[in-house]
A = this chain, B = another copy of it.
């Protein structure tokens, strides 16, 4: 049987063509001992000691390929980062594909290869998967779900209850790169070659931080859809503390600023896929910044704000002109299908 060039409904039937797709596309790219038996579930050795961390995200980004990344890279990095910010070592990923009838198999192959490479970079294994095919018009090319399993080593304790007044807030680099790269691609515009998604797995960077400053890292979050403003509002609300941000210290690329102005958007709400905010004890902030800046994914890290007792539940932005304004959580849908 000659492999067809496009996805057919029969590729999702569970029958002969499904087996062919699994063998020729997925198993070839993701091969590992747990995946290889292609059983109903993958079996792995007992996990190392620690708490189990479990997360899931679906990816519906449009277009599938954009400057600096694609839906496959995103599907690995997003889930790896959700584990890493909890202090977990990411270990195993699942991959569920929903494909639209008529999708070019070559497109699927490119995405799957990107997933395999990113998984290798992040040191995780894709151990089990699933493919469904829906009729033409019932989905938009391809959606991917990844779930991730990791282990939080004993002794690591992160969360809102750890935030202290005067904790400093660090970010590992410029904001809005992912959101603006995808939006410009979607609109068919070009704001310069530096406008690329920041999609990246942050687990190595964050493990270095936790290893260097055990106990002094209080909370971490990856900054994704909803942007920096939304994450920090969640922090302020769940800790019932105030957050002060210094606008001039928040790194934003010129190209991103220009793209935001063009679209009438605020970089504080623009999506990121390789950025993390870290709350660190004031006395450890310099050391934490050094750890971040030594790593390629943190070379532009900066101290952007602090936890305060004023304005509990609120995020307040100090502007360069001496004014202060309250930064709300994202309302509405600024950038649909950004991840």
How far, in whole Å, are A334 and B9 apart by their CA atoms in the complex? 9
Contact for A82 among B37, B41, B46, CB less than 8 A: B41
Instruction: Decide yes or no whether A165 CB sits under 8 A from chain B.
Output: no
Asked whether, in the complex, the Cβ of B52 is within 8 Å of the Cβ of A331, the reply is no
Q: Are A337 and B159 in contact (CB under 8 A)?
A: no
Distance (whole angstroms) from the CB of A327 to the closest CB of chain B: 12
Over the window 308-328 of chain A, the binary record of Cβ atoms lying under 8 Å from chain B Cβ atoms (1 yes, 0 no) is 000000000000000000001
Are A330 and B15 closer than 8 Å at their CB atoms?
A: yes
Query: Within the assembled complex, what's the spacing in Å between the Cα atoms of A131 and B145?
Result: 11
Chief secondary structure at chain A's binding surface: mixed
Report if A184 contacts B (CB, 8 A): no
Of B83, B226, B331, the residue contacting A41 (CB under 8 A) is B83
- Minimal beta-carbon separation of A125 from chain B (angstroms): 10
In the bound complex, do residue B83 and residue A130 qualify as a contact, i.e. CB atoms below 8 Å apart?
no
* Cβ 8 A contact of A40, one of B16, B55, B98: B55
Q: Which of A87-95, A209-217, A255-263, A282-290 contacts B (4 or more CB under 8 A)?
A: A87-95
Q: How many residues of A contact B (CB 8 A)?
A: 84
Residues in B neighbouring A47, C-beta threshold 8 A: 46-47, 52
Q: Is the CB of B13 within 8 A of A41?
A: no
On chain B, the residues within 8 Å of A56 by CB distance are 94-96, 128-130, 145, 147
Q: Which residues of B contact A143 (CB under 8 A)?
A: 98, 132, 134, 139, 143
- For A85, the closest partner residue in chain B by CB is B40
Name A156-174 residues within 8 Å CB distance of B. Answer: 159
